[in-house]
Structures are given as C-alpha cells and as structure tokens.
C-alpha cells in the first residue's frame, strides 16, 4: 500500500503566514466564523488562538458597525465582487480601538463553491494619527493664512500662475479668489514693469538666490496703484525640485506717504532754519557794516565840507580809513567762519607766539584781568597760520575778559596729545597741540553752549559784539585740520580749546628769501601802460586812480570782452583784473590772454579766498588794498617774480 507524500509546500505557506507580525492574516468560514489565527492577529487584536477561533469576526467591529450590519455587508461584497477593502475603527480584546485597513478575499473550491474568506488586517492607527495631525496642522495654517488681512499671502506655480489666495490679497488687490486663481501674477505690475520684464526677473532671482525682495508700485483691480513691499520665496519638494513660489505682499502706501510727509516737514524745518540763519547773517552784517559806513560816510562828508573852506581834514580821512579797515577785518572773520580764508600754514612755536603776545594781551584785557600761562617744558610746533592763530587767541581772550566783568584770572594752557581713531568725533588720528583759554567767569548754560559757535550769536547785547568771534576761530581751526571744543557750566567758567595738528617736516615752510619786496619796487620805476578791468565802476575808477597816481598810463574795461577789444587796439604792458565778473571771470580772461599774448604780466584781484585751481599760479592781490600794496604787486609783476617767493608778505599771495 502506497503512502501519500506530506504537503511540504503547504507547511511552508503556513509557516510564512504564522511568522507575519505586521499583518493580521486569518481565515473565516462562509458564515464569518474564525478558523485560523496568526501572530500578527494576536499582536493587533490581543486574542490568543484558542480564545478566538470559532468566534464570529464581527467581534472586532464596534457596536455601531455591528448594529448597522457592516460585517455581513463586507462578506457579501467580497463574495459578490471578488474583493472587499475598507478602513475603519476596530476593537481589541481589551476594548480599545485601532484604525485598521481591512481586505477580505473569497476562497472557492475548484467547482467555484465558496468555502470561506481570507482576511488581512493592518493596524494604521499611528499613520492615521500622523495624517490627522498633519491635516489639522495644514488646516490651522490654512485658517491662519486665510485670516491674515494685513498681508497678501498666496502661492504661484513655477511659471507664476496664482494657485491660492487669502483675505489680505483680496483686500489689497480687489480680486476675489474665483476671479484671480489661474491668472499670472504679472497682472499686478504696471505696463512699464511688465515690458521691462520685472515679474520674470523676480521669479528668476528667487529661484536662483533663494529669496527676492523689492518695493514698488503695484496695480489693483480698479487700476489704482499702491506702494508694496514684495517677498518671493521658492517652494521645493523633498527632492529639491522647484514646485512653485510663496509670495507675500504688504501695502506700504500709507507708510510711504507718512515718510514723504515727514521728509517734507523736515525739509520745511531745514529751510526755515536756513532762512533764520540767513536772517541772522544778513542782519548781523547789515548792523555792523551800517556802523562802519556811518563813520566812513560821515567822515568823508565832513571832510568835503571842511575842504571847501580850506580847513584841515586829516582827522576825518583817518577816521574813514580806520572804519574801512574794520570792515575788512569783519569780512575776514566772515571768510574764516566760511572756512574760505587764505591761510599761510607753517610750523608755529605756540609757546613763543603766546609769549610775544603778552604785551598785546595786557593792554587789550586791562588791569582787572590777570593772565597765567601753563606750558610744558617741551611742546611741539603746531601746523597753523601764525597771524590767524594770534588773532584767534586774542578773540578768545577778549571773550574770556567779557565773561568776567569784575575781573578775574585768565589761563592760557598748552598740552600735546595723541588721539586715536574715534576718540574725538571731529579729528582724525594723530598728534595734536591743544591750546586752551580758560576763564573764571559766569559760564554758559546748555542752551547757550549749544549755540556758541553759531554765526552772529552773541550774549553781549546789540552793538557790543559781532557774534563772529567763536565761529571765526572754529572755521580757522578746521582749515588747519583741527577743531574747536568748548566746555562750560553756569558759575563754573569756560574752557575753549583749539586743537591743531602737530607740524611735520613735510608741512614746515622754508625761510623767506632775504630779498625784500621794497628792493624789487626800487629796481624799475619806469611808467607802464596798464589795462585795469573790473565790472564795478567805483572800484575800477579807484584802481585806475591809484595806478595813475603812481605815474602809469591806465586804460579801463568793465568786462573781459571789453578788455580783449582794447588789447587789439594798442600796446599794453600789464593787465590787472578783478576775478568775480559776469560772463568771463578774471581767471578765464587770464587764460585767454596767455594764449594770445604769452608772457603778458597779469594780476588777479579778488575779494574772496578761493580761486579756480588753474588760477592759483597767477599773481593775486586781495581786496581791500592800499596804493602801496598795489604798487608792490605791479613791481612784482614787472620783474616776473614768482609770487610764491613773497607769499609771506602782506597782500602778496600765490
């Protein structure tokens, strides 16, 4: 008798099923009773095999599903359609629920008769929890984005098509979601921006650099414009592929208008302050010059009356000259305030300079003020104009005296200091000499201290000061490469300090040539034919008169064009021209003359400190000038000397 071989393949299949723990795999008979049970079923549903085999599989369903006939429909569907799949809540032995994916397949014999069902269940609770959390997060984010009304937040696809739209976008741009979804975002740009390719460049920049931000005009649905801040960020999938852009727009129209209004207000305030400063400037100048002109006009009028009767007029002429010289000093102070005065910078021994000023200070300040000097044994020379430095110290000393109406002690102090970067806001790093004028007077409050360096600000009362003293000293210090500082307090006196750079070997001047200008004047006094040029008839007449008194023949021209016409008509030995003339300046006239009459001596007269760079090589005479100074300049021009050789002589500058 033969014996059948054991079903080895069937055993292997059973071993495979029993080893699976991630799926519950078990058999049902046609009525739904459980006939097998694997390790995965035991793990998910927590029944042992002997506890559950023979029980109906509906035991795993909730009471609600059983009452609704869900288990029976599942088997019927599997039998009818060949397969049933669903997800839903299932119940463990301990009554807890888990979310399951269920697949039921019918099992038929060779004749097609159903003999049971194969049921596969997978526990998806963790995945469903994750998906639910993600869905909840996405929903919260969606609600957040949709609720934002101060920002337009929406998505674009890679080519700029709008794929989402929030309430802020609708409020800013006027489109509802139905109207705008599927449209390209370039419709929010102006025609000029679209033609210039601005929207495309924005997306390209965002994709390339990881972010794009800009401000500009954007267009609403009704055609009106608003000023927007735009940020575009690329959106990529986990593989790094670009899938779109996130676009955030903020309407800054109101802020921009506020800023513009603020700027306009600031400009108006600045203009008002500027006009106030101009008012102080013109008022101060008018006041001081009116005083001087009153002396000049009154003296000359008296001189004319006395001259008619043959009386002595020298006193009145002297008064007029003194007043005019004071006017020149006032002009020099204004130029110093404007940082436009012509300085002769050289190495200055400050200790020696103050010592030489002792007599002047004693006579100027009076007997009620005692002067004390404090200098170290050794003090480096300062890089400054000695004459202007002396004038600056004298100004500070007079101010100190006026702050001590009952007298007191005035201290002039000098120290040498090294300054590092950012140690003093107005000064570069380097070594400085600090000259301080210290008084024991009434001092200044904070408001007065803040205005002390302003032009024409004075606490001395009308007619007692020009208000240019400190501003002049400040301007002088800055032109030297230094600064002016003031410290003071009510009842604590005042300390005004001049910071001047220490002189180096490069900026020290050489000693003046031993030859004097008077020697030059005496070398040749032969009369010349001189062309005088000035657009001011009074000044021209005066200059021509001085030259005539010196014995020269003078032709007069009131413009550069007139001067050129006169030059074509005859021989001219020298040209003396004003600089500040309309149409053609004195420097421009000199350039033309150099081309058509090379070697012709030319002198430029100016009342201002600066001349164009190309004119700095010319001989220069500063206004106002006396006849002797004019005579010296004619002599220099006649001899062809370089003006730089006499730069240290008054009135002769190069």
Which CATH number fits the domain that encloses residue 207?
3.30.450.20
Classify residue 652: in a domain, yes or no.
no
Does 353 share its domain with 496? yes
The model's pLDDT over 237-265, given as tens digits with 9 standing for 90+, comes to 889 899 989 888 888 887 888 878 788 77
Does 497 share its domain with 353? yes
The model's pLDDT over 88-124, given as tens digits with 9 standing for 90+, comes to 899 999 999 989 999 999 999 988 889 999 899 888 8
CA distance 648 to 654: 10
Does 352 share its domain with 333? no
Average pLDDT for 296-306: 79
Domain membership of residue 639 as a residue range: 517-646
Range scoring the smallest mean pLDDT among 150-164, 307-321, 481-495, 605-619: 605-619
Is the bond preceding 352 in cis, omega lying within 30 degrees of 0? Answer: no
Range scoring the smallest mean pLDDT among 329-343, 376-390, 508-522: 508-522
Which CATH number fits the domain that encloses residue 356?
3.30.565.10
pLDDT, residue 204, reads 92
pLDDT, residue 624, reads 77
Looking at 501, 532, 550, which one is the last position of a domain? 501
Does 541 share its domain with 638? yes
| 167 pLDDT higher than 80 | yes
pLDDT, residue 532, reads 93
| 188 pLDDT higher than 80 | yes
Does 48 share its domain with 171? no
For residue 212, list its beta bridge partners. Answer: 232
The model's pLDDT over 582-592, given as tens digits with 9 standing for 90+, comes to 888 888 898 89
Classify residue 256: in a domain, yes or no.
no
Confidence of residue 622 (pLDDT cuts 50, 70, 90): confident
Average pLDDT for 171-186: 88
| 5 pLDDT higher than 60 | no
Look at the chain and report how many structural domains it folds into. 5
Does 567 share its domain with 484? no
Helix (H) or strand (E) holding 123: strand 114-123
Does 299 share its domain with 185? no
Q: Which of 191, 199, 131 is nearest to 161 (CA)?
A: 199
| 645 pLDDT higher than 50 | no
Mean predicted lDDT score pLDDT of the chain:
79
Classify residue 506: in a domain, yes or no.
no
Does 381 share its domain with 411? yes
Q: Which residue has the higher pLDDT, 364 or 61?
A: 61
Distance set, CA 573 to CA 333, 529, 591 (Å)? 36, 5, 17
The total of other beta-carbon atoms located within 10 Å of residue 272's CB is: 10
Q: What is the dihedral of CA 440, 445, 446, 451, to 10 degrees?
A: -90
Average pLDDT for 400-405: 84
The angle at the Cα of 99, spanning 97 to 101, to the nearest 5 degrees, equals 140
Average pLDDT for 613-625: 69
Classify residue 136: in a domain, yes or no.
no
Which residues neighbour 339 within 8 Å (Cβ) at sequence distance 6 or greater?
475, 478, 479
> Percent of the chain at pLDDT above 90?
18
The model's pLDDT over 261-282, given as tens digits with 9 standing for 90+, comes to 788 777 777 666 656 655 555 6
Average pLDDT for 34-42: 88
pLDDT, residue 67, reads 92
| 561 pLDDT higher than 80 | yes
489 and 444 in contact (C-beta within 8 Å)?
yes
Q: Which of 545, 600, 534 is nearest to 567 (CA)?
A: 600
Does 470 share its domain with 544? no
Classify residue 1: in a domain, yes or no.
no
Classify residue 329: in a domain, yes or no.
yes
pLDDT, residue 277, reads 57
Looking at 224, 251, 278, which one is the last position of a domain? 251
Does 607 share its domain with 460? no
Confidence of residue 309 (pLDDT cuts 50, 70, 90): confident
Distance set, CA 486 to CA 125, 414, 437 (Å)? 80, 15, 10
Classify residue 539: in a domain, yes or no.
yes
Looking at 337, 372, 393, which one is the last position of a domain? 337
Q: What six digits make up the tokens of 143?
A: 């609600």
Distance set, CA 307 to CA 301, 310, 311, 640 (Å)? 10, 5, 6, 42
pTM given for the model: 0.41
Classify residue 134: in a domain, yes or no.
no
CA distance 160 to 181: 11
| 651 pLDDT higher than 50 | no
Q: Which of 641, 578, 565 is nearest to 608 (CA)?
A: 578
| 468 pLDDT higher than 70 | no
Range scoring the smallest mean pLDDT among 123-132, 452-461, 484-493: 452-461
Does 376 share its domain with 434? yes
Range scoring the smallest mean pLDDT among 324-328, 433-437, 450-454, 489-493: 450-454
Does 381 share its domain with 324? no
């Amino acid at each position: 008798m033969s014996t059948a071989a054991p079903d080895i393949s069937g055993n292997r299949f059973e071993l495979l099923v029993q080893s699976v723990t991630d799926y519950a795999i078990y058999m049902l008979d046609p009525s739904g009773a459980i006939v097998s049970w694997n390790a995965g079923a035991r793990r998910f549903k927590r029944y042992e095999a002997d506890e559950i085999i023979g029980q109906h599989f509906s035991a795993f369903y909730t009471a609600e599903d059983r009452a609704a006939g869900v288990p029976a429909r599942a088997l019927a569907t599997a039998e009818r359609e060949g397969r049933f799949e669903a997800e839903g809540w299932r119940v463990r032995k301990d009554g807890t629920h888990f979310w399951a994916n269920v697949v039921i397949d019918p099992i038929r014999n060779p004749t097609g008769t159903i003999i049971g069902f194969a049921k596969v269940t997978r526990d998806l609770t963790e995945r469903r929890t994750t998906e639910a959390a993600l869905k909840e997060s996405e929903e919260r984010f969606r609600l957040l984005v949709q609720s934002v009304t101060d920002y337009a937040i929406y998505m674009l696809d890679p080519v700029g098509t709008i794929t989402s739209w929030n309430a802020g976008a609708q409020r800013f741009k006027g489109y509802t979601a139905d109207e705008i979804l599927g449209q390209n975002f370039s419709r929010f740009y102006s025609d000029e921006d679209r033609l210039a390719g601005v929207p495309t460049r924005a997306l390209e920049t965002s994709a390339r650099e990881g972010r794009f931000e800009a401000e500009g005009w954007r267009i609403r649905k009704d055609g009106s414009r608003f000023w927007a801040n735009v940020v575009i960020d690329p959106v990529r999938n986990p593989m790094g592929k670009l899938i779109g852009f996130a676009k955030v727009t903020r309407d800054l129209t109101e802020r921009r208008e506020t800023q513009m209004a603020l700027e306009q207000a600031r400009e108006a305030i600045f203009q008002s302050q500027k006009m106030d400063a101009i008012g102080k400037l013109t008022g101060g100048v008018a006041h001081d010059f009116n005083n001087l002109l009153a002396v000049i006009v009154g003296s000359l009028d008296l001189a004319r009356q006395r001259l008619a009767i043959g009386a002595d007029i020298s006193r009145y002429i002297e008064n007029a000259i003194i007043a005019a010289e004071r006017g020149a000093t006032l002009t020099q102070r204004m130029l110093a305030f404007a940082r436009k005065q012509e300085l002769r910078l050289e190495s200055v021994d400050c200790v020696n300079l103050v010592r030489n000023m002792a007599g002047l200070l004693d006579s100027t300040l009076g007997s009620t003020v005692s002067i004390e000097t404090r200098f170290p044994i050794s003090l480096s020379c300062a890089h400054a104009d000695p004459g202007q430095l002396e004038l600056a110290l004298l100004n500070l000393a007079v101010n100190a005296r006026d702050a001590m109406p009952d007298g007191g002690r005035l201290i002039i102090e000098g120290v040498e200091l090294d300054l590092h970067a950012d140690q003093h806001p107005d000064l570069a790093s380097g070594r400085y000499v600090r000259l301080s004028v210290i008084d024991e007077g009434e001092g200044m409050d904070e408001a007065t201290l803040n205005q002390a360096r302003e032009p024409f600000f004075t606490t001395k009362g009308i007619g007692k000061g020009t208000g240019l003293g400190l501003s002049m000293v400040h301007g002088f210090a800055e032109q030297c490469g230094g600064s002016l500082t003031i410290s003071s307090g009510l009842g604590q006196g005042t300390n005004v300090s001049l910071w001047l750079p220490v002189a180096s070997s490069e900026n020290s001047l050489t000693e003046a040539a031993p030859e004097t200008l008077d020697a030059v004047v005496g070398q040749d006094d032969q009369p010349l034919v001189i062309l005088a040029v000035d657009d001011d008839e009074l000044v021209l007449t005066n200059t021509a008169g001085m030259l005539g008194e010196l014995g020269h023949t003078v032709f007069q021209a009131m413009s550069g064009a007139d001067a050129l016409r006169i030059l074509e008509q005859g021989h001219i030995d020298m040209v003396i021209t004003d600089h500040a003339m309309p149409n053609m300046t004195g420097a421009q006239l000199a350039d033309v003359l150099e081309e058509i009459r090379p070697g012709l001596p030319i002198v430029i007269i100016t009342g201002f400190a600066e001349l164009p760079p190309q004119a700095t090589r010319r001989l220069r005479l500063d206004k106002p000038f006396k006849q002797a100074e004019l005579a010296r300049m004619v002599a220099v021009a006649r001899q062809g000397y370089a003006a730089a050789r006499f730069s240290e002589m008054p009135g002769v500058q190069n």
